[in-house]
């Protein structure tokens, strides 16, 4: 059922143009359909702020339960912002105090850019812990994406992520390893997920934390897990929300940073992502790029349009299905009054009766 355009956030117009069902607030308020209010704590840097917002809104808007989805984006003031991004946030995002006062049915927390390995030294560390602790006591379920998964494993379970010698980067095959959990109901037992990270929390660390691993990859490690109760916290280590071209954009960024001397070596291709034709086009470009750098000339234009149309998306349907299952389960156990997260007779320590 539909997203509700309850403000002038440009993402609503963009998604409507893509064919996602979006209701106006006036129309939504005249329907006798239950509302679900989902928070999106968007901690991504300025360049990825709106794209990440659209990606998660799209996954929520494509879920199946009979409800209206009021998605409330917000961020942390401790995250550094440029003038344009700050103006965008002030116009379209909601303040944290209002989010906490009004309450939520569910919460999604994105990843963030970091300056070093130790998350506890980041400016957002204490504010993020405050939000996660508040959500544990006041929100039915929280979906943690990538870096937020690492943060929860560190501060709540004492499991610190481990730097990897090479970036875990590409599209990787995963298998469902706990077929009994309703989050993976009707999901393909083998599916792809993009990853993009320099650090990893291993299966052994998830197990030591007493968490429930649902899907993992031989090459990329754990992707999907939950808190011990099976639902209060859901963890992604991969990025099922990524657009088809997200990894291409990351590759272009890193390649141009190399051309400008910021990175000291050419970035490798993301694994299992570019076909032979696309690799040939990009290898030709890398030769021209290095030649321009050697001669001190302007960098040649990146051949994005020649590559983007030939990329395959092999992960979105599964990501959509898992998020739909997550929202469907939340719909079943969330109290209609958002400040009372669990209905009478629902055990908050085992809301799904697992």
Q: Is residue 326 part of a domain?
A: yes
Q: Is 239 a known active-site residue? A: yes
Catalytic residue among 239, 250, 278, 316: 239
Are residues 202 and 75 part of one domain?
A: yes
pTM over 0.75: yes
Range of the domain at 303: 246-308
Are residues 77 and 17 part of one domain?
A: yes
Half-sphere exposure of 102 (CA within 13 A, CB side): 17
Q: Is 241 a known active-site residue? A: yes
Per-residue pLDDT tens over the stretch 9-26:
999 899 888 867 787 887
Q: Is residue 227 part of a domain?
A: yes
Are residues 283 and 157 part of one domain?
A: no
Q: Is residue 342 part of a domain?
A: no
Q: Is residue 347 part of a domain?
A: no
pLDDT at 335: 58
Q: Is the distance from CB of 219 to CB of 173 less than 8 angstroms? A: yes
- 240 contacts: CB under 8 Å, gap ≥ 6: 59, 193, 194, 315, 316, 318, 319, 322, 323
Token match 């969330």: residue?
334
Are residues 129 and 58 part of one domain?
A: yes
Q: Which residues of the chain have pLDDT under 50?
A: 336-343
pLDDT at 333: 78
Q: What is the dihedral of CA 81, 84, 87, 91, to 10 degrees?
A: -120
How many independent structural domains does the chain possess?
2
Are residues 289 and 148 part of one domain?
A: no
Catalytic residue among 6, 62, 72, 146: 146
Catalytic residue among 241, 250, 278, 320: 241
Q: Is 174 a known active-site residue? A: no
Are residues 319 and 301 part of one domain?
A: no
Q: Is the distance from CB of 56 to CB of 40 less than 8 angstroms? A: yes
| CATH code where residue 145 lies | 3.40.50.880
Q: Is the distance from CB of 326 to CB of 230 less than 8 angstroms? A: no
Are residues 267 and 189 part of one domain?
A: no
pLDDT at 67: 78
pLDDT at 61: 87
């Amino acid at each position: 059922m539909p997203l509700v355009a309850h403000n002038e956030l440009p993402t609503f117009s963009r998604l409507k143009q893509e064919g996602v069902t979006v209701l106006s607030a006036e129309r939504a308020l005249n329907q006798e359909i239950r509302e679900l209010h989902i928070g999106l704590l968007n901690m991504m840097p300025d360049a990825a702020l709106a794209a990440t917002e659209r990606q998660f809104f799209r996954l929520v808007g494509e879920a199946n339960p009979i409800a209206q989805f009021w998605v409330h984006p917000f961020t942390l003031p401790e995250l550094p912002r440029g003038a344009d991004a700050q103006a965008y946030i002030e116009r379209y995002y909601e303040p944290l105090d209002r989010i906490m006062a009004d309450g939520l049915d569910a919460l999604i927390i994105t990843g963030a850019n970091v300056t070093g390995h130790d998350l506890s030294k980041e400016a957002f560390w204490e504010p993020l812990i405050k939000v996660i602790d508040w959500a544990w006591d006041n929100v039915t379920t929280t979906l943690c994406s990538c870096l937020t998964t690492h943060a929860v494993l560190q501060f709540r379970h004492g499991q610190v992520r481990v730097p990897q010698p090479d970036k875990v980067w590409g599209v990787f095959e995963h298998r469902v390893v706990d077929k009994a959990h309703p989050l993976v109901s009707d999901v393909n037992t083998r599916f792809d997920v993009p990853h993009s990270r320099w650090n990893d929390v291993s299966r052994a660390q998830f197990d030591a934390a007493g968490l429930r691993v649902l899907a993992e990859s031989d090459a990329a490690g754990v992707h999907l897990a939950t808190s011990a109760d099976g639902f209060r916290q859901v963890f992604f280590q991969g990025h099922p929300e990524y657009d088809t071209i997200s990894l291409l954009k990351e590759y272009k960024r890193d390649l141009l940073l190399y051309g400008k001397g910021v990175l000291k070596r050419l970035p490798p291709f993301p694994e299992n992502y570019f076909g032979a034709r696309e690799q040939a086009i990009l290898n030709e470009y890398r030769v021209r790029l290095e030649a321009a750098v050697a001669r001190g000339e302007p960098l040649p234009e990146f051949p994005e349009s020649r590559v983007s149309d030939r990329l395959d998306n092999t992960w979105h349907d599964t990501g959509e299905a898992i998020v739909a299952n997550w929202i469907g389960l939340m719909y079943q156990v969330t109290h209609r009054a958002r400040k009372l997260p669990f209905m009478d007779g629902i055990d908050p320590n085992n809301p799904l009766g697992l």
